[in-house]
Chain A
């Protein structure tokens, strides 16, 4: 408990370029950038594959690759290829990490829509795109949001690796703390990351409340 008091009680931790606010902001920047790029790639792709049924293999490969791929290994690889000093080595592993949960859940959500419902939508005279936008997406939304939530939490927790390649973020407290045996910093940094992950989780719960139709939420 003392370590937490040491960390959060130290006024020098609350200001300056290596203070908590700045590190938190950096952390959020990496995370948000990686998450947005991943979502922009994976949501449309998942919708397309789920709606048309074409390219389902991509989803399977993505799901398996995600489990096998070591994030840290990829980080080192990109650093070796792209060099230190850019933000790319951090973004690429985070994007790669975030794509599979979004892709798989979006695909599953759209595929999982009741065949009768799809049939009714076409039978009423909706066109392909209208079926997707007016029927499939609203019904699949809970799963699409679940994918986004899992991805966001993973990205926020994993963004700590930015510190390995000399970038900022909350990982700095952990990496530097380990190097200098300042365990209060290590624990304080870890707690901040955990709190941030919980906040993301909570934000998605709220989003689910607002965006998902009561008719879909209740009938699950």
Chain B
């Protein structure tokens, strides 16, 4: 566990980058620091591996003050991924990945074997191992950056806007890949981004920071969307909070009805469309086992009759859900009646989560 205790970073010119920050980063989960530029999120991250030292307060890693550890030793035990990947241009991909194992004195053979394993783990073709960084695309370089950070199997991973320099499609696939990796590896990850959608997608816990380096709110993404602590957080979260929150509710509980006769299927039971006049009308499907309520609602909206088709893994019809069935679940997960300090203090366990692994949904009080 990483703990910030009253951490402040003040530069010589008087600028305060981080102001009295106290929070806990839970072990084995992704914690996202998010906020507008100038909110101190990168500074906070870099204080963990002492790329920057705090002016006051302390940061502990498994109970030990990081200030007591010699920086290079500390950093070799913490994975670090930065925005432009920062690969060493003069080294082959395999040797880039093996950087920390080499530093730790592993034999070349062992370090390279480990590097090859990691390339595979992050979804890169092993034939890229003997290329140089300039021969790879931005997305591939970023994967190498992640592999390099994981090489010595550190329990903690710091990721500083790692996906912000690649195009949206590559970014989405890198995010999915990170979630897949995390479900296997269960690292303690601190992830910095300015993109709230990325924060909500990846974070088990999201810490929203405001300009001047103060914590505005720290909560699970679903809680954040339902109960923003104040106007700043609400504005930062942006539009469609209500709809986006549905991504965190599983569609598993949607009440299914038997498929009606006018749903045409093929011989395997896969939907073909709704019978409509002489032809077939469009339909929308969701998989109750894997999808969220947002997908179910979207499927209902795509059908002319407002009925979503539920399918299994193989795409065979399991039943249908009308808007009334979806609405029942929506009512069940309606935001709670707001109390005076509901946003900041709530520690509701939250509905079953989808996508990001259910991590510490704990929320912390925001500073006043």
Interchain pairs with CB closer than 8 A, number: 76
| Surface stretch bound by B, among A17-25, A94-102, A120-128, A162-170 | A120-128
Chain B contacts for A121, CB-based, 8 A: 86, 88
Asked if A139 is at the interface of the complex by the 8 Å CB criterion, the answer is yes
Residue B146 is within 8 A (CB to CB) of chain A in the complex: no
Contact B89 A122 (CB under 8 A): no
Partner-contacting stretch, out of B74-82, B167-175, B253-261, B329-337? B74-82
Ranked nearest first, the 10 interchain pairs of A and B with the lowest CB-CB distance are A120-B86, A215-B132, A125-B76, A213-B90, A219-B134, A125-B75, A123-B80, A138-B90, A116-B86, A125-B72
Chain A: number of interface residues, binned into ranges: 20 to 34
Report if B148 contacts A (CB, 8 A): yes
Task: Give min CB distance, B50 to chain A, whole Å.
Answer: 10
Known: A126-B72, A138-B88. 12 other contacts (CB 8 A): A119-B51, A121-B88, A123-B82, A123-B86, A125-B74, A125-B103, A130-B103, A213-B89, A215-B92, A215-B133, A219-B89, A219-B134
Does A182 belong to the interface (CB within 8 Å)? no
B73 at the interface (CB under 8 A from A): yes
Are the C-beta atoms of A117 and B89 separated by less than 8 Å? yes
- A218 contacts B by Cβ under 8 Å: yes
Chain B hits for A120, CB < 8 A:
80, 82, 85-88
Query: What residues of chain B have their CB less than 8 Å away from a CB belonging to chain A?
Result: 49, 51, 71-76, 80, 82-92, 99-100, 103, 132-135, 148
Q: A135 to B95: give the CA distance in the assembly, Å.
A: 13
Nearest chain B CB to A69's CB is how many angstroms away?
36
The yes or no answer to A11 lying at the interface (CB within 8 A) is: no
Instruction: Mark A120-148 against chain B: 1 for CB-CB distance below 8 A, else 0.
Output: 11111111001000110011000000000
Residue pair B132, A116 in contact (C-beta under 8 Å): no
In the assembled complex, the CB of A212 is this many whole angstroms from the nearest CB of chain B, namely 8
Residue of A nearest to B86 (CB): A120
B88 interface neighbour in A117, A123, A214, A218, Cβ under 8 Å: A117
Q: Evaluate contact between A119 and B103: CB separation under 8 angstroms.
A: no
Chain B residue nearest to A141 in the complex (CB): B90
Residues in A neighbouring B135, C-beta threshold 8 A: 218
Q: A116-B83, A117-B89 are in contact. Are A214 and B103 (CB under 8 A)?
A: no
| A213 contacts across to B, CB distance below 8 A | 89-91, 132
- Answer whether A116 and B84 are a contact pair too, CB < 8 Å, given A124-B99, A127-B72, A219-B132: yes
Give A218 to B92 CA distance when docked, in angstroms.
13
A124 touches B133 (CB 8 A): no
A216 close to chain B: CB less than 8 A: yes
CB of B86 within 8 A of CB of A119, answer: yes
